[in-house]
Chain A
């Protein structure tokens, strides 16, 4: 707890933690929105969410290695992951869409192990990063640093989220997706090809996560095993924010980013992952007890 007293002695440090948390939180929110989309439309909880983030990060890393500017890697990751998501739907996910939720959780869990280990075998377990050196702004006499790349990824995350919303609101396919989310059977009767809607939804989710992963590779680092924490973060954000509320997802994502940064500083970086997973359990148990007072339970 020594670090806690440091925070009180130097309050400007908490400004740093707050800023970092808010900026990374937008990326969490992006992945979480993808999970909410798949969950709401297909009734599938995708445990392989974090692996899409990880693979997107690797796409960014390899395009960067090839000498392309990392910003171009974001659309590249989105397109490649869209194709991967679409293929996964056509081979595996379509078989579990209508089944028990546990079956889809377990199947996507297997998928997550598969992708994670494939990445480990193919790309190696090393920690990689894409250095997008853009300079840094110093605030408060250099006590607080803001890397420009973080501001840029924050803006990009918001733009991507905005684009996705526009797509869902305005385009024909977006309308079909929302109709399927409301009532798949009615949508089918009205002539919506729900199978295609599911494929596009799953692909879109993978694309969003891929883009988020490219942003992660630029601001942080990537390695094959970072998937599960992202899945858990997405799940947590979705439980707190609900399935349809974009602003709440963004708020919860940024809140989680801030909480995680503070916890990492106070308890030590080695407990940061433990904090994320423990927070999930705490939030679920808290939700369960608050609902139980009205004799309801999480559905």
Chain B
């Protein structure tokens, strides 16, 4: 079996499992929709944090923007449910994209930790503004419209919606990383000054990367708002201490700067969280803080990073060959025969 065939088979199995999952485990459809959401979070964070070296603490900003934009359109535009939802999601994505473009011109000129802290401020400021603004319900939040379909079909509908979004995000990022764009943002991560000296328009690439990330986050926010059904400015939309931190944590746990790392990290994190956190009775956030410290201090390479260091041959890395493939582009079930 050739490498391509093995990879296609791997993808096929994964997609098959994902499609069959809601039928096999109908009680867990909402949790699984959240799993897809977490994967989108980790993937879009890693586009900046892992591949471009711009560690953002405020990506949740775009999630919240998309969520509110969609809810406002559903409330005020007077469209039908499905039209409203999709128009709202599209508008949420585009508004996030536009804001990323505008903010990016200012914020992406900041390097390293200044960028990290500026985005942290951005996310929290947005939450505080949203909880004071009456048009979007201020502190009491917004309620999304009821799903019109039959009882019991809502979870399935949103499961496939989130699944589709995740696949789209994954494929777009995979396509971006495989070409010139991927090389460019990796160059920015490795040495931005040199990249600029080589004649690269770093600002254009940085803004484009942030816009991509924001677009998918905006759409995911629009869907997530409808799954949750209630939008609280601080705890759901601009939830810096939960979603905002999870993004970073999942990407690092899985392996920064790889394509599959964030997917693996998000899956491991979400499953662990769903399995164990209900037993912690209010101590979850204490555990989260501890978990961040432990992962960052003791395991900053992440799962995939560790595997790559331990068994480089799985990733097609060979010592005597030049231009090895970029680590993450193999699937989680990589072909071994030609390694």
Residues of B within 8 A of A107 (CB): 292-293, 296-297
Query: In the complex the two chains form, what is the Cα distance from A121 to B55 in whole Å?
Result: 30
- Produce 1/0 per residue, B122-154, CB < 8 A to A: 101100110110000001000000000000000
Which chain B residues lie closer than 8 Å to A239 at the CB level? 114
A113-B245, A281-B122 known; A96 and B297 CB under 8 Å?
yes
The listed residue with most A CB atoms (<10 A of its CB), out of B114, B129, B139, B298, is B114
Contact A121 to B286, CB < 8 A, known contacts A270-B132, A297-B110? yes
Task: Identify which of B57, B117, B129, B241 gathers the most chain A CB atoms within 10 Å of its CB.
Answer: B117
Q: Would you call A4 an interface residue if the criterion is a C-beta within 8 Å of the partner chain's C-beta atoms?
A: no
Secondary structure at the A interface, as helix, strand, loop or mixed, is: helix
The smallest C-beta distance from A117 to any residue of chain B, in angstroms, reads 4
B296 near A113 (CB under 8 angstroms)?
no
* CB atoms of B112 and A111 under 8 A apart: no
Are B111 and A113 in contact, with the CB atoms below 8 A?
A: no
Asked whether any CB of chain A lies closer than 8 Å to the CB of B107, the reply is yes
Q: Smallest distance from the beta carbon of A297 to chain B beta carbons, Å?
A: 5
Closest to B131 in A: A270
CA distance A150 to B285 in the complex (A): 35
Within 8 A of B (CB), among A31-68: 45
Contacts of A105 on B, CB cut-off 8 Å? Answer: 55, 113, 116-117
Nearest-CB residue, chain B, relative to A95: B297
- CB <8 Å contact, A117 and B289: yes
Q: Which residues of A contact B26 (CB under 8 A)?
A: none
How many residue-residue contacts, CB under 8 A, span A and B?
131
Bound CA–CA A113/B292 (angstroms): 9
Q: Mark A91-112, 1 if CB is under 8 A from B, else 0.
A: 0100110010111011101111
Report chain B residues within 8 Å CB of A288. Answer: 106-107, 109-110, 114
B162 at the interface (CB under 8 A from A): no
Tell me if B128 and A273 are in contact (CB < 8 A): yes
| B118 to chain A: closest residue by CB | A284
Contacts A110-B293, A113-B285, A280-B121 given: A285-B106 contact, CB under 8 Å? Answer: yes
Residues of A close to B113: CB separation below 8 A: 45, 101-102, 105
Cβ distance B220 to chain A, nearest Cβ, rounded Å? 23
> How many chain A residues touch B (Cβ–Cβ < 8 Å)?
44
State the CA gap A236–B118 with chains docked (Å): 10
**Who on chain A is nearest to B252 by CB?**
A106
B283 proximal to A (CB < 8 A): yes
Give the docked Cα–Cα distance between A268 and B107 (Å): 27
**A138 contacts the other chain (CB 8 A):** no
| Interface residue from A92, A96, A110 paired with B291 (Cβ < 8 Å) | A110
Chain A residue at smallest Cβ distance from B128: A274
**B15 contact set on A, CB distance < 8 A:** none
Which residues of A are found within 8 Å of B245, using beta-carbon distances?
A: 109, 113
Write the nearest CB–CB distance from B306 to chain A, whole angstroms. 16
Interchain CB contact under 8 A, B129 and A274:
yes
Cα(A278)–Cα(B122), bound, Å: 7
Question: Is B282 part of the binding interface, using a Cβ–Cβ cutoff of 8 Å?
Answer: yes
Add 9 more A-B contacts to A109-B245, A117-B288, A278-B121 (CB < 8 A): A107-B292, A232-B117, A232-B120, A270-B139, A274-B129, A281-B118, A285-B107, A288-B106, A289-B106
Binding site for A on B (CB under 8 A): 55, 57, 106-107, 109-114, 116-118, 120-122, 124-125, 128-129, 131-132, 139, 241, 245, 248, 252, 282-283, 285-286, 288-293, 296-298, 300
Interface pairs (18), CB distance under 8 Å: A45-B117, A103-B296, A106-B248, A106-B252, A107-B292, A110-B288, A110-B290, A110-B296, A112-B289, A114-B292, A114-B293, A274-B129, A278-B129, A280-B125, A285-B106, A288-B106, A292-B109, A298-B110
The interface of chain A, by Cβ under 8 A from chain B, is: 45, 92, 95-96, 99, 101-103, 105-107, 109-118, 120-121, 228, 232, 235, 239, 268, 270-271, 273-274, 277-278, 280-281, 284-285, 288-289, 292, 297-299
By Cβ-Cβ distance, the 4 closest A-B pairs, closest first, are A110-B292, A114-B289, A274-B128, A277-B125
